C-alpha cells in the first residue's frame, strides 16, 4: 500500500473518533494510540507544544531534519505498539531515532529520569542519548519547532483544514480541485 493510500485509510479511521478526555474534542489526525483516557490526556497536552510533530513517519522526520544542525530533534508518535513517542534527531550528519519509555504517566529517554509530558523537550536536551552507532552518547540541543514551519497563510489554512475536517469530507469542501489536492497530499506538517 503506498503512502497516500495508507494515510487516507488512517485518517478516515481516526477522524470520526472522539477524544476520551474531558472535553470530547475530535481526535487529531495521526494519533493512532489515542485510544485510552491516559493516552488521550497525553496527546491533548502534546498537541500544544511546537516540538511535538504528531503522527509523522520516521521517513518524514528524516526529511524535516535534513539540513538541520547536529543535535536538533523533534518528538513524534512511535509506530511501535509498545511505545507512545519517539525522538528523531540529527547526529553526525544523519537522522537517528530513539524511543521514549513511558511508565505511570511519565516519560524517559535514558531510563533513569522520568518526566511529565510537558517537560519532554527539556528532558531530551538535558540527558545523553546512547546510540548503537557511536561510542559516546549524544546530547540533544534544540527542538525543531513545528509552529515555526507554518510560515505562510496557505500552509496555516491547510493545517487547520486537515485538523478540523475529516479526511473524506475534505473532497466535499467548496474549493477548486487543485486546492483540494494540495490540502489532501502529504502529512499535516510536510507540504507536498
Domain boundaries, the chain: 3-143, 147-184
Q: State the fold for domain 3-143.
A: SHC Adaptor Protein (3.30.505)
Please identify which residue in the block is written with the cell numbers 546530547.
139
Give buried/exposed letters for 31-67 (b at 16+ CB in 10 A, else e): bbbbeeeebbbbbbebeebebbbbbbbeebbbebbee
pTM above 0.85, yes or no: no
Residue 100 DSSP class: P
DSSP assignment of 29-76 equals: TT-TTTTSHHHHHHHHHHTT-TTB--S--HHHHHHHHTTPPTTEEEEE
C-alpha to C-alpha distance for 46 and 40, rounded to whole angstroms: 10
| 64 grid coordinates | 524535516
CA dihedral 69, 74, 78, 82 (to 10 degrees): 100
pLDDT tens, N- to C-terminus, the chain (192 residues):
433 344 344 444 333 345 555 554 444 445 544 556 667 777 778 888 889 998 888 999 999 999 899 999 999 988 888 888 999 999 888 899 989 998 888 999 887 889 998 899 998 888 888 766 666 778 888 999 988 765 577 777 887 888 788 878 888 999 999 989 888 877 665 555
Amino acid at each position: 500500500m503506498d503512502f497516500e493510500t495508507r494515510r487516507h485509510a488512517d485518517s478516515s479511521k481516526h477522524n470520526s473518533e472522539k477524544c476520551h478526555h474531558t472535553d470530547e474534542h475530535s481526535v487529531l489526525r495521526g494519533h493512532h494510540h489515542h485510544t485510552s483516557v491516559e493516552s488521550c490526556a497525553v496527546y491533548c497536552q502534546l498537541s500544544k507544544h511546537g516540538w511535538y510533530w504528531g503522527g509523522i513517519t520516521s521517513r518524514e522526520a528524516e526529511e524535516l531534519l535534513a539540513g538541520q544542525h547536529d543535535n536538533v530533534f523533534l518528538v513524534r508518535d512511535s509506530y511501535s505498539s509498545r511505545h507512545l513517542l519517539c525522538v528523531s534527531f540529527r547526529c553526525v550528519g544523519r537522522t537517528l531515532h530513539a524511543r521514549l519509555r513511558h511508565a505511570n504517566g511519565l516519560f524517559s529517554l535514558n531510563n533513569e529520569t522520568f518526566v511529565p509530558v510537558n517537560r519532554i523537550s527539556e528532558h531530551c536536551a538535558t540527558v545523553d542519548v546512547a546510540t548503537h552507532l557511536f561510542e559516546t552518547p549524544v546530547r540533544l540541543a534544540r527542538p525543531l519547532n513545528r509552529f515555526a514551519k507554518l510560515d505562510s497563510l496557505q500552509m496555516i489554512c491547510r493545517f487547520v483544514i486537515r485538523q478540523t475536517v475529516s479526511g473524506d469530507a475534505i473532497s466535499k469542501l467548496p474549493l477548486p480541485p487543485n486546492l483540494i489536492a494540495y490540502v489532501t497530499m502529504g502529512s499535516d506538517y510536510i507540504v507536498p
